């Protein structure tokens, strides 16, 4: 009997099966302790450390309307001060030609970490976020996004 | 055209977070496209966006072509004293953009 | 024996205004804006006036409205656009007596520039023209589309309808086949809309910028592998008028966001 797929393979199969439902689905929640995609800049940032896959939340739609502008939300619940505060949040792309998408920097600590922006994704892939704390601790979150081509080519 | 739109709340309460939203007009040209004549379009993206609160740097973004055209950022700052929020950005061509919002803290 | 008189009577009946209404492939109460076919994220983007990039052009248009730029500003004749331009965009394309033909809103803005402001016409799809068009159209946001197809507009309307129902391009598809025969069905990962233009100029994610309804029509023609008419070509205005008739009653959404 063929073993049922697990982990990322199961996710991928479910995404393909449920693409119509996905159009209505809200963001896929951050994957818990997933297999990290091979992104050299990410590996460099981690420098051998293991991030904690909790607290930091990365939200992206499971199925993007268009890869050129995909809404992205980063949140991390506090409290922070007087303990370690967020210094920077790095965003990495698995498949884009430029894997380091953005770094959000907080030179002065803030209590509410919530960032919205729009990213470009060159095809279906994983996106990884890493929060670097003032005590050098790392928190990570990842999301997988399906990006399709437009139904009709547009040469206008 | 360094057009941008900023919103901050009409009032912020001291010590509490307040929302900042900014939308900037910029094509964020990736450098991977060719134009109608088949010529390569040179990369030109905003590479850095920074926010100062009464002169103190409080938020910044190292931006790449991974951020969509006409960038939009929504983030939170902690209210301290009334004053000004100054936003600055610079692109690969060295063109700078700036904007300012007044902030009232109660 | 009675066939010819019946055929003639039928032809006469079909060209009357009442009959024209009966010929709507999409009845007025079944009209649905492209907004309803867009994904949740696109809808959210349109609904938020700060996240909606179209407002960058609307604001730019507001500045241009007041800017005399060497000649006369729009404001010098029209004053506050919120008052003077309210209800204007929903009547376009419209008949222009001086030009003697049906023109769209972009052409009307350019006509004003040339005739009354001592300015040169702006190029189609230029940010400047898009900004002014979006700003003027925005003043009618929420109002129902109400283009007039009577009198001098009738010929333009008929040409627009003929274009819409004719097959185009290598794919040999007519607009009607997708947007009337197959709206609501899936095409690759998208849902086919009814093809209304009530949100234009719109920020199309695929364009990464704001674009006009004419651009959207040209894009569709490219999609079926037809040669695109040049921006400003008369057949595009014909189709714009036909689209306005098709969308009668739908609220204007400019600046819209579409995928």
Q: Output the pLDDT for position A96.
A: 96
**How far is C-alpha C202 from the geometric centre of its chain's CA atoms?**
10
What is the SS3 string spanning C129-171? HHHHHHHHHHCCCCCECCCCCCCCHHHHHHHHHHHHCCCECCC
Closest CA to A112 of A138, A81, A70: A81
Same domain, C133 and C183: no
Same domain, C120 and C148: no
Q: Output the pLDDT for position B50.
A: 98
Q: Does B29 touch chain A (CB under 8 A)?
A: no
Chosen domain end from C86, C112, C138 = C138
The catalytic residue positions of C are 220
Residue among A69, A102, A111 minimizing CB distance to B78: A111
Q: Is the pLDDT of residue A3 over 60?
A: no
* Region at C77 (left for phi over 0; alpha for psi -120 to 50; beta for the rest): alpha
What torsion, rounded to 10 degrees, do the Cα atoms B99, A67, C130, C142 define? -90
Query: How far is the alpha carbon of C16 from chain B, nearest alpha carbon, in Å?
Result: 45
- pLDDT tens-digit series, residues A37-93: 899 999 999 999 999 999 999 999 999 999 999 999 999 999 998 999 999 999 999
SS3 category, C187: strand
Q: Tell me the average pLDDT of chain B.
A: 95
Residues of A within 8 A of B66 (CB-CB) are: 91, 93, 96, 98, 100-102, 119-120
| Contact assessment for residue A36 and residue A68, using Cβ atoms and an 8 Å cutoff | no
Contact at CB, C206 and A19, closer than 8 angstroms: no
Residue among C39, C45, C189 minimizing CB distance to A19: C189
SS3 category, C105: helix
Token couple for C247: 């969308």
pLDDT (tens, 9 = 90+) of chain C, 259 residues, equals: 556 665 555 555 555 555 565 589 999 999 999 999 999 999 999 999 999 999 999 999 999 999 977 789 999 999 999 999 999 999 999 999 999 999 999 999 999 999 999 999 999 999 999 999 999 999 999 999 999 999 999 999 999 999 999 999 999 999 999 999 999 999 988 999 999 999 999 999 999 999 999 999 999 999 999 999 999 999 999 999 999 999 999 999 999 999 9
Distance CA B99, CA C13 (A): 62
Q: Output the pLDDT for position A12.
A: 57
Task: Report, as an integer, the average pLDDT of A93-107.
Answer: 97
Q: Does C38 touch chain A (CB under 8 A)?
A: yes
Local confidence band at A97 (pLDDT 50, 70, 90 cut-offs): very high
Contact at CB, A151 and C188, closer than 8 angstroms: yes
Residues of B within 8 A of A68 (CB-CB) are: 68-69
Contact at CB, C259 and A26, closer than 8 angstroms: no
**What ranges do the domains of chain A cover?**
7-145
Q: Is the pLDDT of residue A119 over 60?
A: yes
Q: Is residue C35 part of a domain?
A: yes
Pairing of strands A86-93, B46-53: unpaired
Number of domains in chain B: 1
Q: Does C189 touch chain A (CB under 8 A)?
A: yes
Q: Which domain CATH number covers B37?
A: 2.60.40.10
Task: State the residue range of the domain holding B40.
Answer: 4-103
Q: Which of residues 6-35 of A touch C (CB under 8 A)?
A: 19-20, 23-24, 26
Q: Is residue C9 part of a domain?
A: no
Hey, how many other C-beta atoms are within 10 angstroms of the C-beta on A72?
26
Q: Is residue C18 part of a domain?
A: no
Same domain, C199 and C95: no
B partners (3+ CB pairs within 8 A) are A, C
Residue B26 CB-half CA count within 13 A: 32
Domain A7-145, second-level architecture: Sandwich (2.60)
Number of domains in chain C: 2
Task: State the residue range of the domain holding C159.
Answer: 25-49+144-258
Instruction: Give the single-character DSSP code of A118.
Output: E
Give the ipTM of the model, two decimals please. 0.96
C partners (3+ CB pairs within 8 A) are A, B
Give me the residues paired with residue A129 across strands: A91, A141
Q: Is the pLDDT of residue A30 over 60?
A: no
Q: Is residue C4 part of a domain?
A: no
SS3 category, C127: helix
Chosen domain end from C138, C163, C198 = C138
Same domain, C134 and C108: yes
- pLDDT tens-digit series, residues B31-74: 998 887 889 999 999 999 999 999 999 999 999 999 999 999 99
Query: What pTM was estimated for this model as a whole?
Result: 0.89
Q: Is residue C121 part of a domain?
A: yes
Distance CA B15, CA B2 (A): 32
Hey, how many other C-beta atoms are within 10 angstroms of the C-beta on B15?
10
Closest CA to A88 of A36, A57, A130: A130
Residues of A within 8 A of B72 (CB-CB) are: 116-118
Local confidence band at A25 (pLDDT 50, 70, 90 cut-offs): very low
| Contact assessment for residue A114 and residue B75, using Cβ atoms and an 8 Å cutoff | yes
Residues of B within 8 A of C208 (CB-CB) are: 27-28, 68-70
Q: Is the pLDDT of residue A35 over 80?
A: no
Per-residue buried b or exposed e for C12-45, using 16+ beta carbons within 10 Å of the residue's own CB: eeeeeeeeeeeeeebeeeebebbbebbbebbeeb
Q: Output the pLDDT for position B41.
A: 94
Whether residue C201 is preceded by a cis peptide bond, meaning omega within 30 degrees of 0, is yes
């Amino acid at each position: 009997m063929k073993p049922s797929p697990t982990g990322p393979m199961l996710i991928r199969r479910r995404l393909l099966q449920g693409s119509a439902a996905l159009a209505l689905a809200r963001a896929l929640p951050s994957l818990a302790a997933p297999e990290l995609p091979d992104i050299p800049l990410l590996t460099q940032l981690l420098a051998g450390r293991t991030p904690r896959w909790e607290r930091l939340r990365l939200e992206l739609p499971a199925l993007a309307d268009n890869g050129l502008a995909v809404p992205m939300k980063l949140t991390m619940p506090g409290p922070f001060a007087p303990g370690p505060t967020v210094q920077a949040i790095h965003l990495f792309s698995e498949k884009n030609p430029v894997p380091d998408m953005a770094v959000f920097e907080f030179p002065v600590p803030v209590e509410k970490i919530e960032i919205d922006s729009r990213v470009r994704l060159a095809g279906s892939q994983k996106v990884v976020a890493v929060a670097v704390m003032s005590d050098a601790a790392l928190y990570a979150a990842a999301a997988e996004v399906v990006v399709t081509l437009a139904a009709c080519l547009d040469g206008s | 055209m360094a057009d941008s739109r900023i919103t901050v709340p009409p009032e912020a309460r001291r010590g509490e977070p307040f929302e900042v939203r900014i939308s900037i007009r910029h094509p964020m040209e990736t450098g991977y496209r060719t134009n109608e004549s088949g010529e390569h379009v040179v990369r030109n993206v905003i590479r850095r966006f920074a926010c100062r609160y009464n002169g103190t740097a409080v938020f910044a973004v190292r931006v790449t072509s991974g951020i969509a055209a006409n960038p939009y950022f929504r983030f939170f700052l902690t209210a301290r004293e009334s004053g000004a929020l100054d936003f600055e950005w610079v692109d690969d061509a060295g063109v700078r953009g700036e904007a300012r919002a007044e902030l009232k803290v109660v | 024996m009675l066939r010819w008189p019946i055929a003639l009577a039928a032809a006469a009946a079909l060209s009357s205004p009442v009959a024209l209404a009966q010929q709507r492939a999409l009845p007025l109460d079944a009209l649905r804006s492209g907004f309803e076919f867009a994904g949740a994220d696109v809808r959210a983007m349109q609904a938020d006036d700060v996240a909606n990039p179209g407002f960058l052009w609307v604001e730019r248009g507001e500045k241009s409205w007041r800017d005399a730029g060497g000649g006369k500003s729009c404001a010098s004749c029209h004053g506050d656009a919120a008052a003077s331009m309210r209800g204007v965009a929903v009547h376009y394309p419209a008949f222009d007596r001086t030009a003697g033909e049906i023109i769209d809103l972009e052409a009307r803005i350019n006509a004003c520039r040339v005739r009354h402001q001592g300015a040169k016409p702006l190029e189609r799809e230029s940010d400047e023209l898009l900004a002014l068009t979006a700003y003027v159209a925005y003043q009618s946001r929420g109002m129902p589309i109400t283009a007039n197809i009577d009198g001098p507009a009738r010929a333009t309307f008929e040409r627009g309808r003929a274009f819409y129902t004719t097959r185009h391009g290598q794919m040999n598809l007519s607009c009607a086949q997708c947007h009337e025969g197959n709206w609501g069905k899936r095409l690759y990962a998208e849902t086919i809309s009814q093809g209304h233009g009530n949100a234009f100029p719109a920020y199309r994610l695929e364009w990464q910028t704001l674009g006009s309804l004419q651009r959207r029509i040209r894009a569709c023609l490219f999609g079926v592998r037809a040669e695109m008419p040049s921006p400003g070509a008369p057949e595009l205005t014909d189709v714009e008028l036909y689209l306005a008739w098709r969308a009668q009653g739908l609220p204007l959404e400019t600046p819209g966001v579409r995928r």
